[in-house]
Amino acid sequence: MPIIGAPKLESNLDEVALTREHIARLSHVSRPELDYPAGLHGELRAMVQFAGTTVDGEASRIYPPLLQSDVRY
């Protein structure tokens, strides 16, 4: 993977203007591929962690298997 950068300090200090397409492309190619359990973040994480409560303005649903029985460990 090549490393891209400015060869001189002056180039590094210059203004750079990127289009929306450039920014989208850079965001796409620099997005990390995270290992397990990173995929559990988001809605599933909120369902298991918060079980229907609202935290910091983020509402969650109750994880459906938790509704199937009142028995817990």
Give domain limits for the chain. Answer: 35-73
Q: What is the pTM of this model?
A: 0.39
CA distances from 7 to 1, 2, 4, 15, 31 (A): 18, 14, 9, 15, 25
Each residue's pLDDT expressed in tens, for the chain with a length of 73 residues: 666 777 888 887 888 888 999 999 999 999 888 887 777 676 777 777 778 888 888 788 888 887 888 777 6
pLDDT at 22: 93
**What is the amino acid identity at position 53?**
T
